[in-house]
Structure 1
Amino acid sequence: METRSATSHRGLLPWQGLLLAASLLTFWNPPTTAQMTIDSVPSDAAEGGDVLLLVRNLSANSIAYSWFKGETVTSNNQIAAYLVADGTTTQGPAYSHRETIYPNGSLLFRNVILGDTGVYTLQVTQPNFLTEIASGQFRVHPALPKPSITISDSNPVEGKDSVVLICEPETQNTTYQWWINGQRLQDGNRLNLSDDGRSLTLFNVTRNDTGPYECETWNLVSGNRSDPVTLNISYGPDAPSITPTDSYFYPGTNLNLSCHATSNPPAQYSWFFNGNHLQSTQELYLPSIAANHSGSYTCSVHNPTTGLNRTTTKNITVIEPVSPPSIQATNTTVAEEDSVVLTCLTGDTGVSIRWVRDDQPLRLTDRMTLSPNSSVLTIDPVRREDAGEYQCEVFNPVSSRRSSIIRLEVKYPVREDSDLSGGAIAGIVVAVVAGVALIGALAYFLFFRKIGRASDQHDLTEHKPSVSSHSK
């Protein structure tokens, strides 16, 4: 007896067989090849560049390719069709004369434009007229032009004005970056960047904000940097300085004073003498000055753009050179333990005095005192080491002169040693003389003894040959 399942199989109706076949096809998948894909090279392209839609895992049995713009396959959005058998290409309504289909199915876009951004679909036809579909996409970005910088105020004033710098042109999907002196700028206490980074605001500019400034733009496919620009910031003037630094001059010399102040734009200069205007120049020249040119010289500087003024005053003194002084001494020959007073005499006023011994500045000891104006030098008591050549020197800010030399001699007694009497000293002298004589006699004896030995040796050498001959 047959089983129920076998009986059912034998009596299977036609529609039941079709259902079984469908079930088998549903649950049994035959081995398949890798699925076809499309890669965009590159996926983000710059406007004006090229993009290749590269087909991967294309069936070797394909007989035709068709490319479409968009995700749907319709005749209206067909770009082109390629017939593998003869390599012919048929253009479709969406063809722009910039597309090329290659035998491997890939599609090349040349000189892409922003409107090319989107999805593209490839339909591949097999010999059995079955089709396979795959899609790829790319995005076209604008090629950024070289940016430039506009400035809200081309001549700001230091500490007063604010400046806004804008990077042009404005483009979408663009990142903006600012640089100063090659360093990247970020928000700070005195500067602010807009949300998109396109504008830079400098508050209360200073001379250090001069620049140069550069703005940089970039997106996924390109980047560019502007030419550098600098700000013409008005500042100053700072406090002026006067050269030379000398304040004392000889009569008859030429006075040439120069004034300088840091300022932009350059400052305007004026000179005043004791409050009276002299001239409006940066340099002041007065030939062959005299005593009446002594006084205060003021340099006044002005910046017409900032409206600021600064002044500096220098006092000038015209003074005669000093005359040689003279020197007096209470005594030039003194005994040790006595005192001496040296006086420097000068007819000049407003001078200073210093003392010199043996051509070197005098070093005062605790036995030396000077008068309040240093014109009188007192040595009390005098020591033998105080002897030497003394001079006084007078000087003012423009000259110095020395007096003639006074030589100070210090007498002191010769000291005798009390432990030795005159006889003892005489005995020592006699002993020394005798010792010297004895040493001389001994040297004389040794010398002639040496000569005698040398003579005997010579005689013996001369007689030795004759003796040898006689013996033979």
Structure 2
Amino acid sequence: MCAGEDILPPGPLSGAAAGTVTFSTTLTAPESPFLSVSWSFKGVNIITSTSTNITEPGYSSRITLDRATGALELRGLLLEDSGEYTVTIIPDAGLQRQGKTTLNVYALITGASISSPPGVLIEDRSFTNLSCEASGSISSREWLKDGQMLQPGDRVSFSNSKRTVFIHPVHSSHHGSFQCRVSNPISSMTVEHRLTVNYGPHNVSITGPSAAAPGQRVTLQCEADSVPPATFSWMFNGNETQVNTSTFTIEKLQVESLGNYSCTASNMVTMLRNSTVLHLRASCTAPCWSFVLLLISALSLRGLL
């Protein structure tokens, strides 16, 4: 008796509930028909075909046997059809041959969703978790953040089945899109959940020239990383201004416009604020020396020289 690998391809086979699977053999039709072909499931006969067919009643409408090669088609798959199948073939001449394989039947994955507790999340202060649910036969769950595989770390951990990801505490890097991919060998589904983490303001900066020629129009732009977007206020040489936008514009640079411009970014949810300073000075070529002299005179009068 020869078992397995030369009669049936390597398994296991995978099938979808209510679908169809074919147990193919590696045999070609012989010149003389096989004397007998029989299939069994977990040791219980499905069909035995000699000059007549003996079929288990529960399979009579669900199977088709290819008598020439021994292949078996099984339709209307049930989850209970998962298990070991055995084929035994007796040729017209030669030794009996037998093969075994395993079928795994899976329910299609449907209805995937991600849920998380309600509430406002603030960086370094709030804890949260995301739970991934789905219907069907679930073989694996994978979590992704902005399309990249999510790995466990100092702030991220998973339940044993990866059904839930715990974030403790949240960080600005957790702001964005989380995906849960639920799969089995015959189906998969990916669902997305957007997590809002309030953070900042971080990385406050002012873009604009640090030096400009007399009479030039100068625009300073304040930026900050913040969720929700930061609000801005400006100070000039330590004094409050009436500018409360991200842009500070000097229409025409004068002596009185030179000095320190401070931008403060504020987040009304995190209740945090951060500031940065840009020192604006005059830049001159040969024609503007008179302006430089005027500047020196003005600074002297202020007692700064």
Q: Gaps spanning 5+ residues in structure 1: where? A: 1-33, 74-78, 127-131, 325-346, 352-472
Equivalent position to 1:109, from 41, 51, 74: 74
Give the structure 2 partner of residue 200 of structure 1.
165
Shift of 1:278: 0.9
Amino acid at match of 1:193: F
Amino acid at match of 2:229: P
CA distance in 1, matches of 2:4, 2:203: 76
Equivalent position to 2:15, from 41, 46, 49: 46
Which is greater in Rg?
1
Secondary structure of the structure 2 residue equivalent to 1:240: strand
Amino acid at match of 1:268: T
Equivalent position to 1:257, from 220, 237, 252: 220
Give the structure 2 partner of residue 71 of structure 1.
43
Shift of 1:185: 4.1
Give the structure 1 partner of residue 208 of structure 2.
244
CA distance in 2, matches of 1:119, 1:312: 71
Shift of 1:99: 0.3
TM (norm. structure 1) is 0.46
Asked whether the equivalents of residues 69 and 94 of structure 1 are also in contact (C-alpha less than 8 Å), the reply is no
1:235 partnered with 2:204? no
Residues 332-378 of structure 1 deviation map (CA, whole Å, 9 limit, x = unaligned) = xxxxxxxxxxxxxxx86838xxxxxxxxxxxxxxxxxxxxxxxxxxx
1:271 partnered with 2:234? yes
Shift of 1:161: 2.5
CA distance in 2, matches of 1:315, 1:72: 88
CA RMSD of aligned residues (A): 4.8
CA distance in 1, matches of 2:261, 2:4: 90
Asked whether the equivalents of residues 237 and 301 of structure 1 are also in contact (C-alpha less than 8 Å), the reply is yes
Give the structure 1 partner of residue 275 of structure 2.
311
Of Structure 1 and Structure 2, which has the larger fraction of its residues in strand?
Answer: 2
Shift of 1:259: 1.9
CA distance in 1, matches of 2:296, 2:26: 105
Q: Gaps spanning 5+ residues in structure 2: where? A: 298-305
* Residues 62/223 of structure 1: CA separation in 2 closer, same or farther (3 Å cut): closer
- The total of aligned residue pairs comes to 281
Amino acid at match of 2:274: R
Give the structure 1 partner of residue 296 of structure 2.
350
Asked whether the equivalents of residues 85 and 103 of structure 2 are also in contact (C-alpha less than 8 Å), the reply is no
TM (norm. structure 2) is 0.66
Residues 103-146 of structure 1 deviation map (CA, whole Å, 9 limit, x = unaligned) = 245533235332222456779999xxxxx998956332315537
CA distance in 2, matches of 1:263, 1:148: 32
1:175 partnered with 2:117? no
Secondary structure of the structure 1 residue equivalent to 2:276: strand
Secondary structure of the structure 1 residue equivalent to 2:58: coil
Asked whether the equivalents of residues 122 and 135 of structure 1 are also in contact (C-alpha less than 8 Å), the reply is yes
Of Structure 1 and Structure 2, which has the larger fraction of its residues in helix?
Answer: 1
* Residues 170/163 of structure 1: CA separation in 2 closer, same or farther (3 Å cut): farther
